[in-house]
Amino acid sequence: MKRSGVIALLVVFFALAAWETTCRVWSIPDFILPVPSRILAVAVMQAGLLLPHAAVTGVEVLAGIFISLMVAVPLSIAMFAHPAAENAIAPFLVASQAVPVFAVAPLLVIWLGYGIASKVLMAAVIIFFPITVNLLEGFKSCDQEFRVLFRLMGADFWQTLRLLYWPWALPHFFAGLKVGVSVATIGAVIGEWVGAQQGLGYLMIQANARLRVDLVFAAILWLSAMGLSLWVFVGYLERKVISWR
């Protein structure tokens, strides 16, 4: 294992040990702050309960990623191809991120209902911004000499996009996608908090009302694992796709 990995594991181990020790020494009750060992036990033992809810949240997140990609990629290309479009759209993009997701969530639930659609859209809204901005910056960062070369070869915009701009921007795209998938669960969970019948966010609200703080933490642990898995998967894809680095 790499040295950085060992250090990270040590940091996590000591933080959990300090947490466990503090709770036990001060006899903090489980409905205030459960010990990590209890949370882990609930996360494993209650897998039968957590898994169906996690599956719902997972579907919401994956659908959100798909929709955000369907919007972000063409939008970045359009803004890159037409700077006037960028000038017109950019203020709305920034404004969309300045509005707290919590403020929009109730509206989306009213418009799209208590089903999966409102949560998917919430996740998509959060993910699409880092992908769009990073991809656009990636296109723009292409060296002038390469652009001149393609111009002299007589390449049109779409040929240049396919052969030069897109591969050039791929590292930026994956950087944006990594940020996006890391925060994707936030949108889905907030949507579930506002109004849902399934999902880890819904389970957290239910558990919280019954002072099952250990189950709330277990749901958080599953959400973290979900985010981390997505992040690792995108990293794997990145290494496969950008094989020349």
Partner 1 sequence: MLTVSNLNKHFGDLSIFENFNLHLAPNGFTALVGPSGCGKSTLFNVLAGVVAKDGGSVTLQGRDVSHLGTASAYMHQKDLLLPWFTLLDNALLPSRIAGENPDKSTTKARALFERLGLKGFESYRPGEISGGMRQRCALVRTLMFERELVLLDEPLSALDAITRRSLQSLLLLLQVEFKRTILMITHDIEEALMLADEILVLSGRPMRVLDQIYPGGTKLRRLDDPRLIEIKLYVLNLLQGELNK
In the complex, minimum distance from the CB of residue 35 to partner 1, in angstroms, rounded to a whole number: 50
Burial 146-156 (b: 16+ CB within 10 A, else e): eeeebeeeebe
Query: 12-51 mask for partner 1 (x: CB under 8 A)?
Result: ----------------------------------------
Q: Is 240 in the site for partner 1 (CB under 8 A)?
A: no
Nearest residue (CB) to partner 1, 132 versus 160? 160
What the block records as the tokens of 12 is 């996590």
In the complex, minimum distance from the CB of residue 152 to partner 1, in angstroms, rounded to a whole number: 5
What the block records as the tokens of 141 is 């960062």
The one segment of 27-35, 50-58, 123-131, 237-245 that binds partner 1 by CB under 8 A: 237-245
User: By C-alpha distance, which of 41, 40, 57 is closest to 204?
Assistant: 57
Nearest residue (CB) to partner 1, 53 versus 172? 172
In the complex, minimum distance from the CB of residue 206 to partner 1, in angstroms, rounded to a whole number: 49
Which amino acid is present at 20?
Answer: E
Nearest residue (CB) to partner 1, 24 versus 162? 162
Cα separation of 76 and 212, whole Å?
Answer: 44
Rounded to the nearest angstrom, the gap between the alpha carbon of residue 5 and the centroid of all alpha carbons in its chain is 23
Instruction: List binders of partner 1 among 143-182 (CB under 8 A).
Output: 145-146, 148-155, 159, 163-164, 167
Nearest residue (CB) to partner 1, 84 versus 145? 145
Cα separation of 65 and 59, whole Å?
Answer: 10
Length of the chain: 245
Question: Which class for 24: exposed (0-12), middle (13-18), buried (19 or more C-beta within 10 A)?
Answer: exposed
In the complex, minimum distance from the CB of residue 69 to partner 1, in angstroms, rounded to a whole number: 20
- How many residues sit in the footprint of partner 1 (CB under 8 A)? 17
The torsion defined by the Cα of 192, 193, 194 and 198, in degrees rounded to 10, comes to 40
Nearest residue (CB) to partner 1, 46 versus 160? 160
Nearest residue (CB) to partner 1, 75 versus 161? 161
Residue-wise DSSP of 156-213: -HHHHIIIIIHHHHHHHHHHHHHHHHHHHHHHHHHHHHHS-SSSHHHHHHHHHHTT-H
Nearest residue (CB) to partner 1, 3 versus 145? 145
In the complex, minimum distance from the CB of residue 131 to partner 1, in angstroms, rounded to a whole number: 20
In the complex, minimum distance from the CB of residue 177 to partner 1, in angstroms, rounded to a whole number: 18
Chain residues binding partner 1 by CB under 8 A are 145-146, 148-155, 159, 163-164, 167, 242, 244-245
